[in-house]
Amino acid sequence: MYKILEKQMLNRTVAQITIDAPLIANKAEAGQFIILRAKENSERMPLTIAAYDRVAGTIMLIFQIVGAGTAELNTLCEGDAILDCVGPLGRPTHTEGLKKVCVVGGGVGCAIALPVAQKLHDQGAVVHSVIGFRTRDLVILEDAFRSVSEQLRLMTDDGSYGSKGLVTTALETLINEGNEYDEVIAIGPLVMMKLVSLLTKKYGVKTVVSMNTIMVDGTGMCGGCRLTVGGEIKFACVDGPDFDGHLVDFDEAISRSRMYDTFECRARDEACRLFPAEGR
């Protein structure tokens, strides 16, 4: 059992929890994830470790309430306990030797991008960050990104906060201003990472993406998280989650990510009638 020590809502659909998990905290690195079950009959759910404190023995998780699993997790409060939690899993994000990096985060993907930006900053790298959201009400972690970034560009689709436009608009502006990045690290929705990768390929800038594929066991046995990278089959849970964005078959990954949309809508409906399935 993993006790929830703190919980807060970052916006109306995104929750942040800190849990007591000393063994995981002792080994965790930026870019790694855990798989948890909220309750006895809950589905197994992968969540990236947003932060860890080795001294306190805690890890922080940030999740968006979009389906039945995350809705069930959100029913737990401070003082409650998550049934089980396995990790850290996956390979840490490679940051050693990088001198200047642009970290691009989209939506709740910013929770995954932040510890990477933090680690780069702590290692003395110049960090530029671009974070994007649909609207002002969905903005999260702005101050945390600002504290570890020499430059921060905040974008909203509707222009209600920051600058209007996509993260690719801000990234291309930074490149055209003469910034030469050792690497761009993009984390967020698959479509966003695809567009970032297409842009950076045009400019010849190495790009790493974090693939949030469907995942079940987290050990490479089930094959649910498979994707094609450079014409080869890879498994996000053990080979990743980070991959060369210029080699990922995003169209295949996007198609696979939508396989269970209908089932998830039905499960969400059954779990909570406050969130009706689309089209009903």
Separation CA 50–CA 33 (nearest Å):
9
Q: What strand order describes the sheet that includes 81-82? A: 81-82, 2-9, 14-20, 58-64, 45-53, 33-37, 84-89
Give the pLDDT mean for 102-127.
95
Single-letter amino acid code for the residue at 97 = G
What per-residue confidence (pLDDT) applies to 143?
A: 96
The reply to whether 138 and 234 lie within a common domain is yes
CA distance 24 to 218: 15
Domain identity same for 58 and 106: no
- Work out the average pLDDT over 186-213: 95
Residue 268 domain-assigned (yes or no): no
Residue 176 confidence (pLDDT) = 96
More reliable by pLDDT, 188 or 277: 188
- Predicted confidence (pLDDT) at residue 264 exceeds the cutoff of 70: no
Kindly indicate the confidence band of residue 201, based on its pLDDT and cuts at 50, 70 and 90.
very high
37: part of which helix (H) or strand (E)?
A: strand 33-37
Q: How far is CA 78 from CA 6, 74, 85, 214, in A?
A: 5, 11, 17, 28
* Inter-CA distances, 264 with 35, 118, 126, Å: 18, 34, 41
Say whether both 121 and 247 belong to one domain. yes
Could you tell me the two tokens for 88? 């850290």
Find the CATH number of the domain harbouring 221. Answer: 3.40.50.80
Q: What is the mean pLDDT of residues 249-266?
A: 73
137 and 56 housed in the same domain:
no
| Domain enclosing residue 75, as ranges | 2-89
Say what the pLDDT of residue 277 is: 42
End-of-domain residue from the set 33, 54, 89: 89
Q: Give the up-direction half-sphere exposure of residue 94: CA atoms within 13 A in the CB hemisphere.
A: 14
Angstrom distance (rounded) from CA 225 to CA 255:
13
Model confidence at 121: pLDDT above 70: yes
CATH code where residue 57 lies: 2.40.30.10
Same domain, 165 and 224: yes
Q: Identify which has the larger pLDDT, 125 or 70.
A: 125
Residue 276 lies in a domain: no
Domain shared by 239 and 130, yes or no: yes
C-alpha angle 267-270-276 in degrees, rounded to nearest 5: 85
Looking at 70, 89, 108, the residue that finishes a domain is 89
Q: Which two tokens stand for residue 251?
A: 């169209």
* Residue 230 domain flag: yes
* Domain end point (choices 44, 61, 89): 89
Residues 200, 125, single domain; the answer is yes
The number of distinct structural domains making up the chain is 2
State yes or no: pLDDT of 163 exceeds 50.
Answer: yes
